[in-house]
Amino acid sequence: MFVVNVERPSTQIDVLLYDNTKPILFQDGDFVIITTDSVKGAIEVKTKFWQPNKLRKAINKLSAIAEFINPVSSHGKEQFFGLFAYENPDFSTDSVLEILQECVNGQRERVLNCISFGKNYFIRYWPDPPFGQFPKWHEYKLEDKASAYFIHNVIEHLCPQWAISNNDVWYPEDGKENYKTGEINLPLPHQITD
């Protein structure tokens, strides 16, 4: 699946969420080509990450797609961009937030909304985090719930009213903040130094 703008096409996208009431430029089965204004989200899917450089490459690719689709900084992001891996990485997850922060480089148009590794590891971007702090990502260790949280966040982004009215179906009563294992700010462009 690809997205095109007036200048060029995007790189290939694993899962493309789009508004099917808008024109599709080309379709052959599940393969589609659409314009950027039809995009509701993009998801990269991997089996597993063997090394931090593979993760960095995947985050950079998806961040570039996010920037291509929505080049104007949108604090809350109109589209959903997520990275989903079926298995936990072979390396310590302690460095994932730093790799994510490095790849996004303070550019809100490159922000990824969620990352999920295996059954337990989940990261979510908070444009307006709880307690009114700077925009940031929170990482969580959620026993056997990470993929469900990822799917719910996709649905919540696409259909917020439905998600809110069915919140109890998706989330445990005690929420996920009790399972937070780390956080990192999205630095503002003026905070980034070379």
Tens of pLDDT, residues 24-47? 999 999 899 999 888 999 999 999
**Cβ neighbours of residue 183 closer than 8 Å, sequence gap 6 or more:** 97, 136, 137, 138, 139
Is residue 160, in this structure, part of any structural domain at all? yes
pLDDT of residue 132: 62
Q: Evaluate if residue 59 carries a pLDDT over 90.
A: yes
Cβ contact 38:19 at 8 Å: yes
State mean pLDDT over 7-14. Answer: 89
Cα–Cα distance, 23 to 44 (Å, whole number) = 23
Is residue 27, in this structure, part of any structural domain at all? no
State mean pLDDT over 48-61. Answer: 90
pLDDT of residue 15: 93
Is residue 47, in this structure, part of any structural domain at all? yes
String of DSSP letters for 29-53: TTEEEEEGGGEEEEEEEES--SSHH
Q: Evaluate if residue 189 carries a pLDDT over 60.
A: no
**Cβ neighbours of residue 143 closer than 8 Å, sequence gap 6 or more:** 119, 120
Is residue 174, in this structure, part of any structural domain at all? yes
Of the pLDDT bands very low, low, confident and very high (cuts 50, 70, 90), residue 85 is very high
Is residue 181, in this structure, part of any structural domain at all? yes
Strand, coil or helix: what is 85?
A: strand
Both tokens of 111, joined, read: 């922000």
Q: Which ranges in the chain belong to alpha helices (H)?
A: 52-69, 96-104, 146-158, 160-165, 167-170
Higher-pLDDT residue of 157, 59: 59
Cα–Cα distance, 30 to 19 (Å, whole number) = 14
pLDDT of residue 86: 93
The range of the structural domain enclosing residue 70 comes to 40-191
In eight-state DSSP terms, residue 73 is -
Tens of pLDDT, residues 150-179? 998 898 888 878 777 777 766 666 677 777
Tens of pLDDT, residues 101-151? 999 988 888 999 999 999 999 999 988 766 666 788 889 998 888 998 899
Q: Evaluate if residue 4 carries a pLDDT over 50.
A: yes
Is residue 97, in this structure, part of any structural domain at all? yes
Is residue 178, in this structure, part of any structural domain at all? yes
**Please, what's the b/e burial string for 30-46 (b: 16 or more CB within 10 A of its CB; e: otherwise)?**
eebbbbeebbbbbbbeb
Domain count, the chain: 1
